[in-house]
Amino acid sequence: MARYNFSRQDFGYNGSKSFVDSDGLSIRTVFDWAIRSNGSCSLAKTAPACVSNHSECIDATNGEGYLCKCSAGYAGNPYVTGDGGCTNINECELRKEDPAKYEKLYPCYRGSICHDTEGDYECKCPKFHRGDGKITDNNLKGCHPIISTATIATVAVAIVGIFVCVAVPCVLMRHKKHQRSRSFDKNGGNLLKEITGIKFFSEEELKKMTKNYQKVLGEGHFGKVYKGIINDEEHVAVKRYIRKDEKELYNEQEIAGEITNQAQIQHTNLLRLIGCCLHTDVPMLVLEFIPKGNLDDVLHGADRHLHKISLSDRLRIAIGCAEALTYMHSDSEQHKSIVHGDVKSGNILLNDNLEPKVSDFGSAKLRSIANSRKWVVKADRAYVDPVYQNNGIFTEKSDVYSFGVVLLELITRKKPLYDDSKNLPYEFVNHYEDGNARTMYDRDLASTNNYLECLDRIAGIAVRCLKNRREKRPTMKEVLDELKQLEIEQPQLPA
């Protein structure tokens, strides 16, 4: 439709453009046209002019008639057929060719991938996302994760929690294993590996055999002793040392030497070492269990009135202890000579037959080491050799002095420090030298005349053991011989 028609002849147009640019004249032309032969699209059920595939009819905007256009997603000439007609627009290629222009015209959700379709395009969401990546007025959400952010956060927290639960124990176990290895080396484990007769226990095994250190048998400056049982059969005592000073250092060679000595000295009157644990901060020893307790409890304990010990039993106890110390002080193929360092009634254990077992070798040292330098002895001061207290040199004669105190306990049944402040060795020696030793004997023994001569002989041995000058003291071998001779000469002593 054209409201104004101009013929080129009216302008004298003969194929030249001069009619539009002569004398500076220019004419702006707007073509607004429509096909009017069949009326509007609503009147013409078919639009004969819209012959191209994918074309459609639209009503004219100025009066009657219609026009043709390509359907959405197609471009070309709707009035012709074939290649010149409406063809598919490849939106994805256009996005690649001119992203600034066409990514806005054909938008896709960030991360989605454009795929061309016939007459349209689609945007496929990336992995682990769902939804429609093609952004339209009706689809503003686009792609979103298959699993929600909250779920991802929850799963992440759970994974971190599981990792922590697994990793932390592993790290702690590895650290603990490293600590155990260091403790084993520090406690002389490498030096003890080659020694036969030493059984190594783990800390877990000790906890199991003692039921987590449930029953305490005794304690002292060294630590505590716990009752244990191995394989529900063998009763044992587990000695757990303590370190009072965190700065206190342990020499692995000395520790290994002490444990080796305890493993190698085998005597019926010495407490047997079964094994040890070196994976702990300080060594732990597994020893044979002696049921009756120690001599100190029997002589001086709260239940001492229940223990009626004959002179014969006391003499056998003294002989057994003397045999043990004599064995320790001697050199043999099995062991080197060592000193005990803590001889006292509390370290003399008794079985049901009152047979003694000398224990607590925590202070034991090779005699050559003890004699060659000052040695800190952690012993009961009531039993300690006064000479050692003055010069710091500990010898086998220091053990002899301590044994002399034990002999006095056996014949007097008094503690080394009794009646609050009285010193048994000092008091007895004074009484002995004054000829009044019998006034200090145990009344249960002194009341029998047959015992007095034997008690006097034992007292004489004890006094010589307590001499201030070490060279005046007998050796343990000499003490043992005298006690055995006394036992032979006193057969009439009742058991």
239 domain-assigned? yes
Instruction: Give the count of domains, the chain.
Output: 3
Average pLDDT over residues 322-327: 96
224 is in an annotated binding site: no
The CATH code of the domain that includes 230 is 3.30.200.20
Domain membership of residue 211 (yes or no) is yes
Q: Which one of 39-53, 130-144, 474-488 scores highest in mean pLDDT?
A: 474-488
Find the catalytic residue in 342, 385, 399, 442.
342
Most confident of 144-158, 226-240, 249-263, 396-410: 396-410
**Residue 120 belongs to a domain:** yes
| CATH code, 398 | 1.10.510.10
The residue among 289, 306, 331 that closes a domain is: 289
Residue 277 shares a structural domain with residue 310: no
Domain shared by 404 and 485, yes or no:
yes
Q: What is the pLDDT of residues 70-107, one digit of tens each?
A: 999 999 999 999 888 999 999 999 999 999 999 999 99
Q: How confident is the model at residue 318 (pLDDT cuts 50, 70, 90)?
A: very high
Hey, which of 58-67, 130-139, 363-372, 465-474 has the most confident mean pLDDT?
465-474
Tell me the pLDDT of the chain averaged across its residues: 82
The pLDDT of residue 308: 85
Task: Kindly provide the residue ranges of all beta strands, DSSP E only, lying in 374-488, ordered along the sequence.
Answer: 417-418, 422-423
Is residue 3 scored above 50 in pLDDT?
Answer: no
Asked which of 238, 265, 289 is the last residue of a domain, the reply is 289
What is the pTM assigned to this prediction?
A: 0.62
Residues 226 and 302 in one domain: no
pLDDT tens for each residue of 5-45: 454 454 444 555 555 555 666 667 777 788 877 667 776 56
Answer with the one of 264, 289, 314 that is the final residue of a domain: 289
Residues 259 and 196 in one domain: yes
Is residue 118 predicted with pLDDT exceeding 60? yes
| Residue 360 clears pLDDT 50, i.e. is over it | yes
Ranges 92-96, 401-405, 490-494: which has the least confidence:
490-494
340/2: higher pLDDT: 340
| Domain interval for residue 384 | 292-495
342 belongs to the catalytic site: yes
Percent of the residues in the chain that have a pLDDT greater than 70, as a whole number: 79
pLDDT tens digits for 168-200? 888 888 767 766 666 666 665 665 666 666 788
State residue 294 phi and psi, 5-degree precision: -110, 165
Let me know if residue 228 belongs to a domain: yes
The confidence score (pLDDT) of residue 317 equals 97
Q: Which of 65-74, 175-184, 296-305, 328-337 has the highest mean pLDDT?
A: 65-74
435 versus 135: which is more confidently predicted? 435
Q: Tokens at residue 155, please?
A: 């799963």
Task: Name the residue with higher pLDDT: 279 or 456.
Answer: 456
Domain co-membership, 366 together with 465: yes
Do 321 and 427 fall within a single domain?
A: yes
Whether pLDDT at 126 is above 80: yes
Bridge partners (DSSP) listed for residue 162: none
Q: Are residues 326 and 256 in the same domain?
A: no
CA separation (Å) from 223 to 25, 209, 220, 242, 429?
121, 18, 5, 5, 33
For residue 201, the SS3 value is: coil
Same domain, 357 and 421: yes
CA distance linking residue 365 with residue 213, whole number of Å: 28
pLDDT at 7: 46
Predicted local confidence at residue 372, as pLDDT: 44
Q: Are 271 and 354 contained in the same domain?
A: no
Are both 278 and 302 inside the same structural domain? no
Task: Encode pLDDT of 240-272 as tens digits.
Answer: 877 655 545 555 566 666 677 777 788 999 988
Q: In 3D, which of 382, 394, 406 has the Cα closest to residue 465?
A: 406
DSSP-derived letter for residue 26 is -
Residue 453 falls inside a structural domain? yes
**Residues 369 and 257 grouped into a single domain:** no
Between CA 299 and CA 447 the distance in angstroms is 18
329 plus 397 within the same structural domain: yes
Per-residue pLDDT for 217 more than 60? yes
Quote the crossing angle between the two packed helices 449-465 and 311-329, to the nearest 10°: 20
- 196 is a domain residue: yes
Q: Return the minimum-mean-pLDDT range out of 198-202, 204-208, 210-214, 384-388.
A: 198-202
Output DSSP code: residue 272: P
What mean pLDDT do residues 108-137 have? 89
Question: Which CATH number characterizes residue 127's domain?
Answer: 2.10.25
In a domain, 209, yes or no: yes
Q: Please measure the distance between the N-terminal and C-terminal CA atoms of the chain and give it in whole angstroms.
A: 150
Residue 179 lies in a domain: no
- Please name the residue that has the structure tokens 């012959």: 51
| pLDDT over 50 at 399, yes or no | yes
Helix (H, G, I), strand (E, B) or coil at 84: helix
